[in-house]
Chain A
């Protein structure tokens, strides 16, 4: 068996975390329930920023070497995916902010192009939640959490209808 991994999404002013998220769709609403088709993004505006993270529990000795990237399928013209920065020091982690459609200037990593996961941004791990201090490149505390893997889809001159279905990947090592 391996460590138990769960995707979480935080929403609302209260940073309410929902476990076991099964999709990542950028929408014009801050929730994890509304169908994306019911909350389209108007060209020239942004999606609400999406605050997702991973939680590790179950049985493990250590989680380490985290990487995150947009790994497959190109976005169409006029679409830009911005993401939280790569982790090089603990202070690079993002503090939670209530999701909104305002351009999030803290999302400094441009993830529009698909790249190999080995070239992805570094993800760190912490013992008390995605925004908490104490993030490190490896973690033995159980449970532990990634830093926030926040994204926002920004549009300018985009075509109508659904985007291509892109793939985002999180890679990590465990033992």
Chain B
């Protein structure tokens, strides 16, 4: 089946100041035959400082130092107070409909966000920004 085009491409800025740009082909530099470009980011996951989605004239970022988001210049702070060990979340949501005639997979939404822990209890928290195909964004806690 034909694959859908990516309407948003990511940039991962690392703590050492370097930036990884997702190519439109979404192919890993390390394993170009089997892995997507996010695989390359996963190899340095703990070093990601800011993760940004750009597309459709919009910009959405998650900042992993303190868990705040910037979506079209609007800052959204984490409501969970001070947390530690922020880990990046990024995925694309796909849907395939089948029936009398199957359809090819459609990209429904992009998600960026984090998981992190409360320093004293270790309790896990998660916060994500969902960006739908029409460009609308909403926070998912």
Mark A residues whose CB is within 8 Å of B: 1-7, 20-25, 52, 54, 58-62, 64-65, 71, 117, 142, 165-175
Interface residues contributed by chain B, number (CB under 8 Å): 36
Whether B32 contacts A22 by the Cβ 8 Å rule is no
Inter-chain contacts of A22 with B (CB < 8 A):
101-102
Say yes or no: is B141 at the interface (Cβ < 8 Å to chain A): no
Whether B25 contacts A1 by the Cβ 8 Å rule is yes
Say yes or no: is B90 at the interface (Cβ < 8 Å to chain A): yes
Whether B35 contacts A2 by the Cβ 8 Å rule is no
Whether A59 contacts B33 by the Cβ 8 Å rule is yes
Q: 6 A-B Cβ contacts within 8 A?
A: A4-B1, A23-B99, A24-B100, A168-B99, A170-B96, A171-B94
Expressed in whole angstroms, the minimum distance between the Cβ of A160 and any Cβ of chain B is 18
Q: CA–CA, A166 to B91, complex, Å? A: 29
- Chain A CB count within 10 A is highest, among B32, B38, B104, for B38
Whether A59 contacts B97 by the Cβ 8 Å rule is no
Q: CA–CA, A58 to B27, complex, Å? A: 10
With contacts defined as CB atoms under 8 Å apart, how many contacts are there between chain A and chain B in the complex? 108
Whether A59 contacts B4 by the Cβ 8 Å rule is no
Q: Give B86-141 interface residues, CB cut-off 8 Å to A.
A: 90-102, 104-105, 107-108, 111
Inter-chain contacts of B90 with A (CB < 8 A):
175
State whether A24 and B99 are in contact (beta carbons under 8 Å apart), knowing that A1-B27, A59-B27, A175-B91 are contacts in the complex. yes
Q: CA–CA, A73 to B32, complex, Å? A: 41
Q: CA–CA, A20 to B98, complex, Å? A: 12
State whether A168 and B97 are in contact (beta carbons under 8 Å apart), knowing that A20-B1, A64-B91, A175-B92 are contacts in the complex. yes
Q: Pick the 8 closest A-B CB pairs, nearest first.
A: A173-B91, A61-B39, A175-B91, A175-B38, A61-B38, A171-B95, A2-B3, A165-B100
Say yes or no: is B71 at the interface (Cβ < 8 Å to chain A): no
Whether B96 contacts A167 by the Cβ 8 Å rule is no
Inter-chain contacts of B36 with A (CB < 8 A):
1, 3, 59-61, 174-175
Inter-chain contacts of A20 with B (CB < 8 A):
1
State whether A71 and B97 are in contact (beta carbons under 8 Å apart), knowing that A61-B36, A61-B39, A175-B36 are contacts in the complex. yes
Whether A2 contacts B105 by the Cβ 8 Å rule is yes
Residue of A nearest to B93 (CB): A173
Expressed in whole angstroms, the minimum distance between the Cβ of B25 and any Cβ of chain A is 6
B28-46: CB near A (< 8 Å → 1, else 0) gives 1000111110110010000
Question: A24's contact among B1, B4, B98, by CB below 8 Å, is which?
Answer: B98
Q: Give B61-102 interface residues, CB cut-off 8 Å to A.
A: 90-102
Q: Give B1-51 interface residues, CB cut-off 8 Å to A.
A: 1, 3-6, 24-28, 32-36, 38-39, 42
